[in-house]
Amino acid sequence: MSTLVSVAELPAHVGESVTLRGWLYNKRSGKNVHFLEVRDGSGTTQVVVGASDVSAEAFAECDGLTQETSLSITGTVHAHPKRPGVVEVHGTGVTVIGRPSGEFPISPKEHGTDFLMDHRHLWLRSKRQHAILRVRHTIIKAVRDFFDGRGFTLVDAPIFTPNACEGTSTLFETDYHGDPAFLTQSGQLYMEAAAAAVGKAYCFGPTFRAEKSKTRRHLAEFWMVEPEVAFLDLAGDMELAEDMLVFIVERVLAERRAELAVLERDVSKLESVKKPFPRITYEEAIGVLAKAGNPAKYGDDIGGDEETLISSAYDRPVMVHRYPREIKAFYMKGDPDDPRAALCVDVLAPEGYGEIIGGGQREDDLEILTRKIQEHRLPLEAFQWYFDLRRYGSFPHAGFGMGIERCVAWICKLPHVRETIPFPRMLNRLSP
């Protein structure tokens, strides 16, 4: 009798007869032997089928197998004769479950970006994409475990929102029973309400930006984790972000070494992600840029090139805090010690990945908040519920948002965020 096992479980069954089910990834054939490379989602293994081990019909059928045929394979688990620590299966029976109706579009050779994106549903089966999916999963699980382990409560934010919280130009508008509704850009305002209910809240869900951005760092639909904590100040907020990133990186290093190896990720770069992260003020960052010959001056926003310049000076994420108030959102609290600055922070990932986290302390004074919303020319009536949070026991609070895809791109060292999400939505792509 053979046991039904996954590829990942094979090393525990050396010497036993097992049955595997999976898909043919590649095949190398000789006159008297076939080498079938089979993947089942848990891993990939080589199945050796010798002419004398199976019936003549079964051996002949192996000869005609094409890529992505789904198979049931029975055989004995052996150590690989040439590769120490690797096992293989000596097949005694091969049964076709599903035969491809045509040539599988994605061969193990090179393909262009557009072609691969058109076949994203099939591209996911490749080793590299499989590795990314698993790292993404581990990062998300680590985020959840991190907050859950610190007394946070997951509070889901709505996807449909009635108003624009940071201007309408970057929002997707939908028809909500005759009224306009927008797909959420951020759950933050709702998390502020949640923080007053549970103290420490976080949400994790999809967010939408209609920006006409076509860069390696932008998606129209991306997943964001947003913690919000009552009675937390900017310094505490930065520590929270720092602890979270260290936790995530440690978890990935502990559980996803094999996937990082598939991605050819230099793990020593991740191993240096330890506390403390450098903290520099925006003003200091401008000074660093000036020294490097960059023309940026106080009041300018820090663009992609500038972020790379700053972050390349460090071997771990760098936190840039206290940006000028004018270039930040209305809900940022002003720095009582610097009339020009806001109590906010951006966390820049190393190796040129730039901003992965944005956050800060929120304005908790009703009068100031009202004035700033007017200055930003936003409709006051839409924010009445938000003002209630200041009317009924206002409290200092802070939080941040981290884009999961940018985090995955950095940890996997991917050239583009489109590979970090199973089915990316971008400026010119809505399918598959």
Partner RNA sequence: UCCAGCGUAGCUCAGUCGGUAGAGCAGGCGGCUGUUAACCGCCGGGUCCCUGGUUCGAGUCCAGGCGCUGGAGCCA
The span from the CA of 235 to the CA of 229, in Å, is 12
Verify cis geometry, omega within 30 degrees of 0, for the bond prior to 276: yes
Smallest gap from residue 116 Cβ to RNA (A): 7
Distance of CA 290 to the CA centre of its chain: 33
Q: Residues 329 to 358: which contact RNA by CB under 7 A?
A: 329, 354-358
Closest listed residue to residue 402, CA positions, set 363, 362, 348: 348
Sketch the per residue contact string, 300 through 319, with RNA: x for CB under 7 A, - otherwise: -x-xxx-x------------
Instruction: Quote the least distance from Cβ 280 to RNA, whole Å.
Output: 18
| Alpha-carbon separation of residue 295 from 267, 310, 332, 342, 355 (angstroms) | 35, 14, 26, 22, 20
Instruction: Name, in order, each residue with C-beta under 8 angstroms of 250's C-beta and a sequence gap of 6 or more.
Output: none
Distance between alpha carbon 417 and the CA centroid of its chain, in Å? 8
Residue 216 binds RNA, judged by CB under 7 A: yes
Q: Please report, as residue ranges, which positions from 378 to 417 form the binding site for RNA (by CB under 7 A).
A: 401-403, 405-406, 416-417
Q: Which two tokens stand for residue 318?
A: 């760098």
Of 9, 16, 61, 211, the residue at the interface with RNA (CB under 7 A) is 211
Question: Considering the complex, what minimum distance in angstroms separates the CB of residue 333 from RNA?
Answer: 16
**How far, in Å, CA of 237 to CA of 247, rounded?**
15
Least separation in angstroms between CB 350 and RNA: 14
The one among 189, 224, 246, 369 contacting RNA by CB under 7 A: 224
Task: Report the nearest approach of RNA to the CB of residue 391 (Å).
Answer: 26
218 binds RNA per the rule CB under 7 A: yes
Least Å distance between CB 109 and RNA? 4
Q: Contacting RNA (CB under 7 A), which of 152, 222, 330, 331?
A: 222
Find the binding residues for RNA in span 103-162 (CB under 7 A).
103, 105, 107-115, 117
The answer to whether the CB of 246 falls within 8 A of the CB of 274 is: yes
Size of the site for RNA (CB under 7 A): 71
Is residue 298 near RNA by the rule CB under 7 A? no
Cβ nearer to RNA, comparing 83 with 371:
83
Nearest approach, Cβ of 186 to RNA (angstroms)? Answer: 6
Q: Which is nearer to RNA, 205 or 255 (CB)?
A: 205
**Which residue, 35 or 395, has its beta carbon nearer to RNA?**
35
Between CA 349 and CA 410 the distance in angstroms is 7
Residues 356-375 that bind RNA (CB under 7 A): 356-358
CB of 346 to RNA, least distance (A): 7
Q: 191-210 mask for RNA (x: CB under 7 A)?
A: ------------------x-
CA distance 136 to 422: 10
Q: Which is nearer to RNA, 66 or 374 (CB)?
A: 66
Answer yes or no whether residue 17 interacts with RNA by CB under 7 A: no
Report how far apart, in Å, the C-alpha atoms of 7 and of each of 85, 88, 273 are: 14, 9, 32
User: Whole-number minimum distance, CB 236 to RNA, in Å?
Assistant: 19
Angle formed at CA 100 by CA 98 and CA 102, multiple of 5 degrees: 165
- Residues 52-81 close enough to bind RNA by CB under 7 A: 64, 66-67, 78, 80-81
Stretch of residues binding RNA (CB under 7 A), selected from 12-20, 128-136, 212-220, 285-293:
212-220
Closest CA to 348 of 410, 293, 397, 267: 410
* Shortest distance, position 341 Cβ to RNA, whole Å: 16
Residue 328: alpha-carbon gap to chain centroid: 25
Kindly indicate which of the ranges 25-33, 268-276, 369-377, 381-389 contains the residues binding RNA, using the contact rule CB under 7 A. Answer: 25-33
Please pick, from the candidates 125, 137, 217, 279, the single residue that binds RNA as defined by CB under 7 A.
217
Count CB-CB contacts under 10 A for residue 90: 15
Cα separation, 22 vs 269, whole angstroms: 35
Handedness of CA 127, 131, 132, 137 (dihedral sign): positive
Give yes or no for residue 274 binding RNA (CB under 7 A): no
Give the residue, chosen from 3, 8, 12, 83, that forms a contact with RNA under the rule CB under 7 A.
83
Q: Contact at 8 Å (CB) between 370 and 206?
A: no
Residue whose C-alpha is closest to residue 362's, from 197, 190, 154: 190
- Main-chain dihedrals φ then ψ at residue 168, nearest 5 degrees: -90, -15
Q: Which residue's CB is nearer to RNA, number 305 or number 365?
A: 305
Give the phi and the psi of residue 353 in degrees, each rounded to 5.
Answer: -80, -15
- Report in angstroms how near the CB of residue 370 gets to RNA at its nearest: 21
Is 72 in contact with 87 (CB distance < 8 Å)?
A: no
